[in-house]
Chain A
Amino acid sequence: MPIDKIFKDDASEEKGERARMASFIGAMAIADLVKSTLGPKGMDKILQSTGRGHSVTVTNDGATILKSLHIDNPAAKVLVDISKVQDDEVGDGTTSVVVLAGELLREAEKLVTAKIHPMTIIAGYRMAAECARDALLKRVIDNKENAEKFRSDLMKIAMTTLCSKILSQDKEHFAEMAVDAVFRLKGSTNLEAIQIIKKPGGSLRDSFLDEGFILDKKIGIGQPKRIENAKILVANTAMDTDKVKIYGARVRVDSMTKVAEIEGAEKEKMKDKVNKILAHGINCFVNRQLIYNFPEELFADAGVLAIEHADFEGIERLGLVTGGEIASTFDNPESVKLGHCKLIEEIMIGEDKLIHFSGVEMGQACSIVLRGASHHVLDEAERSLHDALCVLSQTVNDSRVLLGGGWPEMVMAKEVDELARKTAGKKSHAIEAFSRALVAIPTTIADNAGLDSAELVAQLRAEHHNEGCNAGIDVISGAVGDMEERGIYEAFKVKQAVLLSATEAAEMILRVDEIITCAPRRREDRM
């Protein structure tokens, strides 16, 4: 008697060894895909979208690469997911987390073929991860007390982060910018306050950090191009036709004259509104919505600078920067808080005109203007800078730092190895495997730089046998070097997140012994 079909037509089911194989292979394929982008000499990838226009992205950022892939393998999806979360949470280390998880699974596969039960492997991995974390905690450096040292730490972290990206040529310049910008935030992690404006043209070196605020908008015609001691009203109100909001209202007239009257009344209403706005005693008016020609003209007459259609974030930021409140009604001018700034002027970057607010009251926000040869370069530069900013803002809150260049991995690997020696039972194999997976990261960095990885890693391991050693791989000179001297630092928070999420993901995939794929939902062909 054949077993009846249990699933729907196109569904498939994979069991036991096959299921595990499928997920291992999927996960490792993803890890291998991004592996070559790891480290300062990592390569970039070109991504061509299948959407309209076949837009092209060139990137080195793990999260970006993985986000754009269309993946069918469920285990691979788990890895893509952790990389995305790493991006959201700490912003950097998106490649490392995938590579580490891939290596953990590669080692696990060997153990499974050696007939060790996945649950035993998981137990070993957990012990190892805990031990590795403790090892890192023992070696962290915390310079929170010493402001000057802390700043130099941040500079080094930013440079380390940037050196694997397209900005590596000007990493000092950009690191300085990023650190300055983050310091302005004064401990908040709200990166919204840092605005990044991309303008093609010039070279990357021409990028700059602006203390004030730059709005990518034009000043209305016939209005002043430069205002000193500006009083700004930030608003979110309709300045086109202010329609009657009462439900069901409509205009019904029986003659042309009445139409004219109503129109007059409408105009009068708008004029009223403009007058009310002017009564605030402002000389700059920024609105989120459109400003029609008529009110614009009225503003111009009054010598007020009116800026229309600033997007929502722009408005919010402007409110934040100038200290004004976002207004929608204008009946009580005395109680509305206006924003202030020393100077508003139109500036030219490349051939675009932008509005520049300088000397703002609240120094929290700032703008970074990126210049570069093409849109691809700018996009990648923005992503790199975003990574650096994320890491820095997280480091400001959690000021513990570590050395970079494969140093943390070697430290962890050493401790984990020792743990393996002390542990009795089959778990020790898994713990050993964990340490091998950790060593794979410096190996990959060296490989990507075209160095003799086996030689270097062996050297590194020997160096690390001494207590308190600072040795790591110096990719530039191609040898083992003292990371503290080279100034290669990483944030503890990033490393910890990499370690924990990679272990979690590996564990999740290891626990699976069956994959059931449901029949894809039928979509009607829309022609």
Chain B
Amino acid sequence: MALAFDEFGRPFIILREQDQKTRLRGIDAQKANIAAGKAVARILRSSLGPKGMDKMLQGPDGDVTISNDGATILEQMDVDNQIAKLMVELSRSQDYEIGDGTTGVVVMAGALLEQAERQLDRGIHPIRIAEGYEMASRVAVEHLERIAQKFEFDVNNYEPLVQTCMTTLSSKIVNRCKRSLAEIAVKAVLAVADLERRDVNLDLIKVEGKVGGKLEDTELIYGILVDKDMSHPQMPKQIEDAHIAILTCPFEPPKPKTKHKVDIDTVEKFETLRKQEQQYFDEMVQKCKDVGATLVICQWGFDDEANHLLMHRNLPAVRWVGGVELELIAIATGGRIVPRFQELTPEKLGKAGMVREKSFGTTKERMLYIEHCANSKAVTIFIRGGNKMMIEETKRSIHDALCVARNLIRNNSIVYGGGAAEITCSLAVDAAADKYPGVEQYAIRAFAEALDSVPMALAENSGLQPIETLSAVKSQQIKENIPFYGIDCNDVGTNDMREQNVFETLIGKQQQILLATQVVKMILKIDDVISNSEY
């Protein structure tokens, strides 16, 4: 390949190792990119909706993941193509921002690309298509704003929230007990939500899983669950009204950072050193005891001797607790993390009504429950399930449900799901298209077509006739001028999504449209791909 030639036809060398690179340019580059983007979207297309199928992914180390979550599938797919990577990023950013609709956004982008290809064949310049898409997306987002409804709920009446979370969960494998899981998710979010500021810090919700039991055993713990046990097997397994000292210093003699040596050259020194060492341990334990702690949680390990001293003075202790967990415990119990024994004071202790150790199944795995905390802001969702894959998938599903509940608390505008929002947007965009003079009109119409592909995929996955169903719903929407009709995926018998209680958050939907448009615009603007050729 060559970029430029002199008058004798010899190539100028411009790129390093030019002859080892391949280059695609112009319409070929766009076509190739679109093909790659479409290929990724096609993989996810069958996972959309409540009847969507799962994907089984075998990782590089032979580990198996079974998932229905778009972001997870793409992340684990380990793609190599640059454009495919863009799509992965797209799904990931939807995941970070909203947490739900990660499959939808990719399907949407794929449809936009497909339509763009058609316009390219007509000879429309890619930039004009991109601009048309941009206008169309604006129309769609504004339209969504108009049809959005306020969603009423409060702390005592959280039923509507549960319904929304159930919609999210119904597309996952856990839909067998979606009701209880949705309730758990909503209760967890409400427990940590700051309703005045309309904010939810999801970091305060810890999702912990343990293989065994069944999905129905999943529970919400108003407190913290730590995958650790007491440092000494004979310490009490249950502490009521615990005062917790949260330490980040080891129960060991201090290790100064500066290099030093303690030289022993006489017997006396040996003796004093020994005494001092014993005193260290004694003092440490005594300090904890003095401030009134009844439980010590430490980030580091204990020396055997310290361990026994603790046990001896009736001071239960937990060792090797991770940093994140330590912080959560501190938040939950209202304690302070203490980096040195000298700084321990009674005010810095955390308080919890009940700390207990619980063992599971026939193996000797134990976990520590810290409940009835002083500041009950931190909660834990403890998932049980038949196998590891199930738990991982449940974790992801719960995460989605949590995100949805959070978004509703942040902004309680909703639009109706089941493709209803896409269909009404498609109608609005189509109507708006005629107002634009110029080539963009075609691109805007293409956008409307692309919007139709989401309900189409939903219908297809539910085993319905896609075109027939879509056109029926569309005509119903126009005839009655109500934007709530969608695809009846669960075969309930009505297309009215209000009755089916299927809705999504407004910001989630808007974000989907905006993100998908942005990525497609980016892909369309690329007209030259230079890559290392195979060697």
Contact = CB atoms under 8 A, between A and B. Distances in A.
Interface of A: 1, 3-9, 11, 13, 19, 23, 72, 74-75, 77-78, 81-82, 84-85, 88-91, 117-119, 126, 189-192, 236-238, 244-254, 258, 261-262, 264-266, 269, 316, 319-320, 325-329, 331-332, 335-336, 390, 393-394, 500-501, 504-505, 507-508, 511-521
Nearest to B66: A508
Contact of B264 (A249, A328, A394): A249
A117 B464 CA distance: 12
A475 B308 CA distance: 56
Nearest to A313: B364
Contact of A248 (B260, B280, B386): B260
Nearest to A249: B262
A1 B31 contact: yes
Interface residues of B, number: 84
B60 A6 contact: no
Interface of B: 28, 31-32, 35-36, 39-40, 43, 46, 51, 53-62, 64, 66, 68, 73, 76-81, 83-84, 173, 176, 211-215, 232-234, 252-256, 259-267, 270-271, 273-274, 276-278, 280-281, 303-305, 307-309, 311-312, 359, 361-364, 386-390, 463
Contacts of A78: 64, 66, 387, 389
A161 to B, nearest CB: 14
B264 A262 contact: yes
A504 B64 contact: no
B273 A249 contact: yes
B267 A262 contact: yes
Nearest to A83: B387
A236 B308 contact: yes
Contacts of B32: 1, 4
Nearest to B311: A325
Contacts of A518: 57-60, 76-78
B58 A516 contact: yes
Given A7-B80, A74-B58, A513-B53, A505 B387 contact: yes
B351 to A, nearest CB: 28
A244 B280 CA distance: 12
A106 to B, nearest CB: 19
B273 to A, nearest CB: 6
B117 to A, nearest CB: 10
A511 B54 contact: yes
Contacts of B78: 7-8, 11, 518-519
A9 B312 CA distance: 61
Given A78-B387, A88-B362, A500-B214, A6 B39 contact: yes
A500 B265 contact: no
Contacts of A325: 234, 311-312
Contact of A265 (B46, B267, B312): B267
Given A245-B253, A512-B54, A513-B53, 9 more contacts: A1-B35, A3-B36, A78-B64, A189-B359, A246-B273, A249-B261, A262-B270, A512-B56, A521-B61
Contacts of A13: 43
A23 B514 CA distance: 38
B396 to A, nearest CB: 14
A439 B364 CA distance: 35
B233 A326 contact: yes
A252 B261 CA distance: 10
Contacts of A504: 215, 386-387, 390
Given A7-B77, A251-B264, A512-B56, A88 B304 contact: no
Contacts of A4: 32, 35-36, 39, 81, 83
11 contacts: A4-B81, A72-B62, A88-B361, A117-B463, A261-B266, A328-B304, A328-B309, A504-B215, A512-B66, A514-B43, A516-B58
Contact of A332 (B66, B79, B273, B312): B312
Contacts of A326: 232-234, 308, 311
Nearest to A332: B312
Given A1-B35, A6-B39, A394-B362, A247 B254 contact: yes
Contacts of A261: 266-267
Contact of B54 (A8, A192, A244, A508): A508
B265 A501 contact: no
A512 B53 contact: yes
Given A1-B35, A89-B361, A512-B66, A246 B253 contact: yes
Nearest to B40: A6
A85 B64 CA distance: 16
Contacts of A336: 312
Contacts of B254: 247
B190 to A, nearest CB: 30
A513 B43 CA distance: 10
Contact of A244 (B53, B176, B261, B274): B274
Contacts of A6: 36, 39-40, 79-81, 84
B62 to A, nearest CB: 7
Contacts of B386: 82, 85, 500-501, 504-505
The 9 closest A-B pairs by CB, nearest first: A328-B308, A513-B53, A521-B60, A81-B387, A511-B54, A249-B262, A517-B58, A74-B64, A247-B255
B524 to A, nearest CB: 16
A189 B362 contact: yes
B327 to A, nearest CB: 27
Nearest to B57: A516
A380 B153 CA distance: 60
A514 B234 contact: no
Contacts of A251: 263-265, 270
Contacts of A237: 304-305
Contacts of B43: 13, 514, 516
Nearest to A502: B386
Nearest to B28: A1
A3 B56 contact: no
B262 A250 contact: yes
A262 B305 CA distance: 23
Contacts of B266: 258, 261
A249 B173 CA distance: 59
B256 A247 contact: yes
A394 B64 CA distance: 30
A390 B362 contact: yes
Contact of B212 (A89, A191, A192, A319): A89
Contacts of B264: 244, 249-252, 262
Contacts of B64: 74, 77-78
A412 B34 CA distance: 53
Nearest to B461: A119
Contacts of A117: 463
A262 B274 CA distance: 13
B173 A8 contact: no
A91 B58 contact: no
A268 B200 CA distance: 63
A319 B262 CA distance: 38
**Residue of A11, A118, A393 with most chain B CB atoms under a 10 A cut-off:** A11
Nearest to A75: B56
A332 B309 CA distance: 10
Nearest to A327: B308
A89 B385 CA distance: 11
A85 B265 contact: no
A316 B234 CA distance: 8
A252 B84 CA distance: 65
B33 to A, nearest CB: 8
B279 to A, nearest CB: 11
A252 B269 CA distance: 11
A514 B56 CA distance: 6
A253 B54 contact: no
Contacts of A393: 362
B388 A81 contact: yes
A78 B261 CA distance: 56
A116 to B, nearest CB: 10
B123 to A, nearest CB: 17
A421 to B, nearest CB: 22
A236 B304 contact: yes
B107 to A, nearest CB: 15
